[in-house]
Amino acid sequence: MPRWIPDDPATESALLAEAGLAESDQLFSDIPRKVRLGRMGVGPAHDELDLVRTVDKILSRNRPYTGFATFLGGRIAPRFVPAAVDAILLRSEFYTSYTPYQPEASQGMLQALFEFQSLWVELSGMDVANASLYDGATAAGEAMLLARRIHEGKRFLVPASLPWEEKSVLANYAMGTGVRIDEIRFDPKTGRLDLEHLKAEVARGDVFGVLADVPNGFGHVDEGLLDMKSLIGAVPYVVVADPLALSVLSPPGDWGADVVVGEGQGFGASPSFGGPLLGLFACRRDHLRFSPGRIVGATKDAEGRPAFTLTLQTREQHIRRSRATSNICTNQSLLALAFVVYASTVGPRGLADLERSLSERARTLANALSGIDGLRAPRFDAPYLHEFTLEVTRGTATGFLDRLRRRKVLGGHPLADPRTPAASPGNELVLTAATEFVGDKEIAKYAKAARTALAHVPGAA
């Protein structure tokens, strides 16, 4: 049987005649012409072999990051994935499984999700985690909504250095709710949050939550986060954390965080053109019934054997809409499983050793770039782990990165908000990182390409 059964012209004419129509366009007559897309420019039909060749030709224009010396920083990072991850992930009982509505038939996936929750609880220092959300940015949005459920106010404070993409997602979450998102200034020398400004903003009142990130949007570790809870008092404290960084840092729960969220893509998944991603979410037990999504719980069956089941389910599909905490429809089960397999394969000591190794490579990279005329690396005087911010002092950051790309180097992620570059705190700043794919050869290639890229920019000696 063929994979599809197309209609031939005679069949199509017969179907239209039966419907009393002269042509197929009449099927869409109720749609105003000004909003129709019209013909999409698709050429004449191909046979299957020609179609495959045409698509392959189009796909050959893709330039995967694996063909470059890659120094991309930010929440989504290239990272080596052990073969064991895909070997388990692609088993049919996991790869094709759907929402585990029937616990008696879904014990394997439920156990995997329970272990995923347990891992994030351990890393974050929180009491309870959910079965994951769509990505790190939407997890931050859900954390903001949780904060508003447990504390009165209309203002949510975020770092000015928070990536513009995440600010945009938070703004979408705030739309129509009466919530205003205000920014906390940072020290221009260190990139750390200005705690005096934070204190003054909280004192103004009407603040229902404060968000901070570790590492921050500049890649640095801000020791001031340890003191933030004492400054904001009863105001809920949300922390966006990198799970790899938490392998060597004390958990945010020890600093007084009420909610800890993050992006889990780096544990077991490749960047894959920006997705799929994995949202991490954990909170204190007091806030359990205000958390989004659903939670897998451990229990015993009628015969006293260990068993797993969906327990608190606060999404619209399970309870009345007026009582739902979010419209989150599902969770990232497959990516959550990848997180579990990756973390279990590498192990706690292996994760910490990896972070230390990447941090050493990042310092080697910064030293190699710091002597180049036209760059300042690192830009801020503050501790950092595997990523840091460099400043392009000759020309523009985007121009610099474009010239690097032509030399097969992905030099980092520009921090300026492209929608409002004039008002962005990230003008001419680049977040760059060391990954497992960065060695002495790649660092030397970056330094050479950077010198060449900057040599003919106006202002060069």
For 229-271, the pLDDT digits (tens) are 999 999 999 999 999 999 999 999 999 999 999 999 999 998 8
pLDDT at 7: 72
pLDDT at 312: 79
Confidence category of residue 3, pLDDT binned at 50, 70, 90 = low
What's the whole-number mean pLDDT along residues 192-205? 96
* Architecture of the domain made up of 65-74+347-455: Alpha-Beta Complex (3.90)
Most confident of 34-43, 100-109, 225-234, 290-299: 225-234
Q: Where are the domains of the chain?
A: 65-74+347-455, 84-342
pLDDT at 311: 85
Confidence category of residue 214, pLDDT binned at 50, 70, 90 = very high
* Architecture of the domain made up of 84-342: 3-Layer(aba) Sandwich (3.40)
For the chain, percent of residues with pLDDT exceeding 70: 92
Dist CA 220 CA 387 (whole Å): 7
Residue 320 has pLDDT above 70, yes or no: no
Confidence category of residue 456, pLDDT binned at 50, 70, 90 = confident
Confidence category of residue 323, pLDDT binned at 50, 70, 90 = low
Q: Which residues pair with 283 in a beta bridge?
A: 128, 259
Residue 2 has pLDDT above 70, yes or no: no
Dist CA 170 CA 166 (whole Å): 6
Average pLDDT of the residues of the chain: 90
pLDDT at 60: 93
pLDDT at 317: 56
Count of all residues that appear for the chain in the document: 461
pTM, two decimals, is 0.87
pLDDT at 461: 42
